[in-house]
Amino acid sequence: MKKRIRDVPIYVWVRPDELEAIRARMDEAGIQNMSAYIRKMALNGFVLHVDLTPVQELVSLQRRCANNLNQVAIHANTYGVYPEEIKALQKDYADLWGPLSDLLEKLADVVQI
């Protein structure tokens, strides 16, 4: 009688919705055997945890910058201000937002993996 190669069982309890999600991912991967899929994911898969606190702070700063720009624009429309100042603020805002947008897109791609 041939002995099993894998002779240590592991039991995992899941909710019905989790089981459905596991089966959907198995289908996406083209794996039919749940034991093989779970073993492969446990041995070769990875969990990605990204701390986005610094990015959230950057987004908060960007929002404050946008609010400041709006307040200056309202003041300029009401009392007048030099157009060069407005253009300089708009340029600074654009310079800030461009790289920040690129960074957020890259982070979104990483989180979706």
Instruction: Write down the pTM of the prediction.
Output: 0.45
Q: What is the pLDDT of residues 50-86, one digit of tens each?
A: 677 777 877 787 788 788 778 877 887 888 777 777 7
Three-state secondary structure readout of 22-46: HHHHHHHHCCCCHHHHHHHHHHHCC
Task: State the residue for tokens 């805002």.
Answer: 93
- CA angle 91–92–95, rounded 5-degree value: 85
Task: State the residue for tokens 């289908």.
Answer: 27
Q: In whole angstroms, what is the distance from residue 59 CA to residue 55 CA? A: 6
Mean pLDDT, rounded, for 96-104 = 79
Q: What is the pLDDT of residue 55?
A: 76
Task: State the residue for tokens 């946008």.
Answer: 66
Helices (H), the chain: 16-29, 34-44, 53-79, 83-112
Q: Are 86 and 23 in contact (CB under 8 A)?
A: no
Which residue, among 40, 13, 37, has the nearest Cα to 26 in the 3D structure? 37
Q: What is the pLDDT of residue 14?
A: 95
